[in-house]
Structure 1
Amino acid sequence: MPLVGFGIWKVPSSSAGDSVYNAIKTGYRLIDGAYDYMNSKEAGKGVQAAIADGLVKREDVFVTSKLWNNYHKKEHVVEMAKMENDAWGLGYLDAYLVHFPISLKYIPPTEVKYPCWWKDEARTVWNDLDPVPMSETWGAMETLALRGQEAPGKERFARSIGVSNFHTQLLYDLLSYAKIKPAVLQIEHHPYLISEHLVNMAQENGIAVTAYSTFGPASFVEMDHPLAKTAMPLMEHSTVKGIADKYGKTPAQVLLRWCTQRNVAVIPKSNHPERALQNLDCCTFDMTADELNSLSSLDCRMRFNDPGALDKPIRIWV
C-alpha cells in the first residue's frame, strides 16, 4: 500500500471518474473509497480509463473500499463485498475494511440514502442499531481474503482485509480470535487528535495505519460541523506555518509529512491539480524529532468524525 493516496470521500459521483483519472495521471497509486461514499462505480471507471490509456496497469493501483454498518451480519458481508467489487469493475479490491465497529439494521442496498447513518436524505429517520458481534463480521471478512486460495475457482473479492475507526481495546479483542489479522487500521488522525497509544499499538502488531482528515477541521467546515467552525484551522496554526516556512513547503505538506514520517499513510483529497501534486510530493523533506513533537503537542483530543455527536448518539469513543 503506498504511503500517500487519494481519498474520494465527498467527491460527487458526477466528477469522481475524472477526479480519480486525474489523480492517477498526477502520480497517485492508492485510491481510498467506501460504499458509504456512493461513488464507487464512477471512481472505478476513472481507474479503468487510466488503465485503458496506458497510464497504469491494474497491479499498479491499490484500491481500498469499506463495508458499511448495515451489512455486518455474515450473510451480508460477502454479498456487499461482491457488490462493491462489481461496482469498481477492476476484478478485485486490494483492501476491504470494516468501516465502523457499529452494526445497524439491514437495509436493502437499493434503499440506502446518503449519508448512510439515516434512512432518508432529510436526516429525519435514524437507522437503528442491530447488534452483531464483531467476531461474526470478521469471520465473514476472513472468507473474502481466503476466496481463491482455499477455494480455487471462487472469485476473490479482496486481497487483504482491515478495519476502520476501531480503538485499542477492540483491536486487542479482535486479535484474540482472528485467523487473519487486519492488515490496515484507518482512523481520524491529525495533530489535534494524535491517538498515540492506538497508533503505537497497531504498528506494534504489524497493522498498517492510514490517517484520514489529516487537515483536522478543514475537512468538516463545509459540513457545518459546529466544532470545526470554532477550531483554529491547523493550516493557519503558527506551529504548522513556522515549520512550513522553514522548509519552503505548504502547511498541508507539513501536516501530511507529520504522518508519513511516522509511517502513517495519508489519503488527502484535492480538486485543485496543483494542490494534489503538492500533497503527493509531501515526502521530499524530513522534519526534526523536535518539530514532529511540537506538532504532536497540539493534541487536545479534538475529534470531528464522531457518531457520538449525532442526534441519536452511538458512543464508540471515550
Structure 2
Amino acid sequence: MPARPNSVLLNTGDSMPLLGIGMWNVDPKDVGGSVKAAVKAGVRCIDCAWDYGNETEVGNALKELFEEGVVTREELFVTSKLWSNFHDPEDVEDHLKDSLRMLGLDYLDLYLIHWPMAFPKGGAKVPEDKDGNIIYLEITLSETWKGMEKAVRSGLAKNIGLSNANSKMITDVWNDATIKPSVLQIETHPYLSQAKLVDFAQAKGMAVTGYSNLGAVARSWAMSDEPRVLQDEAIKKLASDLGKTPAQVILRWLVQRKVAVIPKSTNPDHIKENTEIFNFELSDENMKIMDGLNRNYRYVAFWADKPVDGKLVFRDPNCFNFPFGLEY
C-alpha cells in the first residue's frame, strides 16, 4: 500500500503526514486558534502530549472542526504521549484513556513513550528528593512496551512508538517487542541533524518525526547568545535564492529526508507558510549545504539544566535506563 501524498508509510500500513503542528509550549488559551488555523490550512497531523497540559483545549477545537464539517476524524492523525509517572505496564492504558477523554477521541493514531526514564506514580511529574535529585523507578522500556502493545490490542492506539530514545533503547525494545515500534520522535533541526540515528531508525522500518524543527525559540530557558537556526546566514541565503522563508527551507530539508515535522505556531500566517513546503525541492547541492550545518547542538534536554556551548550539563548522569555516552 503506497503512502498518501505528502505522507510517510508506517510499518503497520498506515500513512503519517510529513507535516503536522505541535502543541508543546502552546498556551491553553491559544490552542484552539492554532489547531483550527492549522486544520483549515490543510494540516492533518496534531502532535499532543498529556504533559503539555492542553489536551482538553485541543479536544474542544477538534470537536468544533468535526461539527462544522471542516474535517473528519478519519482524516486526522493524532498523537499523544505516555508520561514517565505511568511507565508501569499496568498504568499505560488508564493514562492513555485520560488523554483520549480530554481529546474527546475514541482512539489515537499514534501513542509514544514520551521519555525513556520512569518516575514514581503520583505526586510531582518530575519527583525530586530533598537534595534536588530526580527520583527514578527501575522499569525498563521493554516492560513499559508491554502496556503499549496491550493498548493496540484494545483498539486505543493504532500505532505505538518511542520518543527521545537512542539506538540502544530502540534495539532493546525492538528485540523484545511483539508489536514493533512504528515511529521515533526526536529533536532534529539543521544544528542537530541526528543523521546516524535517523538512518538507524529508518533502516529498522521506523518512521521519524522531528521536533523543535525551527530551534524552539519560544522556550522558557532559551539563552540570549545561543545559535539560532532561523538566523543562520547559509539558510537565509538559500531562502532568498529560492524565494522561500528560512523556516520553509528548514522544513523542506527535513521532509526530503523523510523526516516528519511538527512546527509549533499560533500565527495563522506562519501556519499557512509552513504548509507551502511541498511545491519546491532542494537540490542535491542545497541538501549538502544544509547537512553541513550540523553542530550537535540541542535546544531541548529534559535531563540537563541547560545546553552550554552545544554540550549538555547533566543533572544526573547515572539515570537508570539512559546510557548517555552513545553517539546516537
TM-score normalized by the length of structure 1: 0.89
2:159 aligns with 160
Whether 1:93 and 2:92 are equivalent positions in the alignment is no
Pairwise CA distance, 1:10: 0.8
Pairwise CA distance, 1:5: 0.3
Post-superposition Cα deviations, 1:141-179, rounded to whole Å, max 9, x if no partner, equal 0011111xxxxxxxx211111110011111112111111
With over 3 angstroms needed to count, the CA separation of the structure-2 counterparts of 1:118 and 1:292, relative to structure 1, is farther
Measure, in 2, the Cα distance between the counterparts of 1:304 and 1:232.
10
Pairwise CA distance, 1:87: 1.2
Tell me which of 14, 27, 41 is aligned to 1:26.
41
Pairwise CA distance, 1:242: 1.0
1:248-263 equivalence runs, <5 A: 248-263=243-258
Pairwise CA distance, 1:125: 6.2
- Counterpart of 1:280, as a letter, is T
- Counterpart of 1:264, as a letter, is V
Tell me which of 62, 70, 78 is aligned to 1:47.
62
Tell me which of 207, 218, 223 is aligned to 2:220.
223
Pairwise CA distance, 1:307: 2.8
1:84 aligns with 99
With over 3 angstroms needed to count, the CA separation of the structure-2 counterparts of 1:51 and 1:126, relative to structure 1, is farther
Measure, in 2, the Cα distance between the counterparts of 1:294 and 1:106.
46
2:316 aligns with 313
- Counterpart of 1:49, as a letter, is E
2:151 aligns with 144
| SS of residue in 1 equivalent to 2:315 | coil
Q: Percent identity?
A: 37
- Counterpart of 2:208, as a letter, is V
RMSD over equivalenced CA pairs, Å: 2.0
- Counterpart of 1:304, as a letter, is Y
Whether 1:117 and 2:126 are equivalent positions in the alignment is yes
List alignment gaps of at least 5 residues for structure 1: 148-155
Measure, in 2, the Cα distance between the counterparts of 1:307 and 1:84.
21
1:153 aligns with none
2:27 aligns with 12
TM-score normalized by the length of structure 2: 0.86
Measure, in 1, the Cα distance between the counterparts of 2:174 and 2:137.
23
With over 3 angstroms needed to count, the CA separation of the structure-2 counterparts of 1:127 and 1:71, relative to structure 1, is farther
Measure, in 1, the Cα distance between the counterparts of 2:219 and 2:180.
36
| SS of residue in 2 equivalent to 1:140 | helix
In the alignment of these two chains, the number of paired residues is: 298
Contact 1:105 1:127 in 2 (8 A): no
